[in-house]
Amino acid sequence: MTTARLVHPAAAALAGVAEIFDQYRRHYGEPVVAGQALAWLADQAGSGKLTVFTAHAGADLAGIATAATLPASLRLGCYWQLRDLYVVPGARRRGAGHALVSAVRAAASAAGAIRLSVQTEADNTAALQLYRTSGFTPVSQVAE
């Protein structure tokens, strides 16, 4: 069974997350420098800019997600945006993605967010399928 949970923003709690985050960044062609992801995650989570979640398959770390809180000025509230979601290749299609989305959704709701949004590339079929089956509705055009 896969479970997901919120991660404390202390650097020690983020060490395993940083390893997976480096895999995520490498997946998208970003260069990886030892220690850089951990420092960045600790700064972002410690300042409250990002909330970090992990998925576990038993004792193994199966995936990560991050979410940001943003102002919803017209409604005088806030909304959450699921920013990053990555499941390690060996844990895919076993519920980790759904567990992460559910954990983010629950935390956003508990924080009083009026909306939860996610953005992904139009050709990321696996992510689009995950988000559709998690209750998100695709929006193909956004005015800028």
| Residue boundaries of the structural domains of the chain | 2-133
pTM of the model: 0.88
Q: 2-133 maps to which CATH number? A: 3.40.630.30
* Range 54-79 average pLDDT: 91
- Band of pLDDT at residue 78, cut at 50, 70 and 90: very high
pLDDT in tens, 89-131: 988 989 999 999 999 999 999 999 999 999 888 888 888 899 9
Is the pLDDT at 144 greater than 60, yes or no?
Answer: no
CA distances 87 to 47, 72, 109, 115, 121, Å, are: 25, 29, 23, 24, 17
Question: What is the CB neighbour count within 10 angstroms for residue 30?
Answer: 11
Q: Point out which residues pair with 60 in neighbouring strands.
A: 57
Tokens of 85: 């979601």
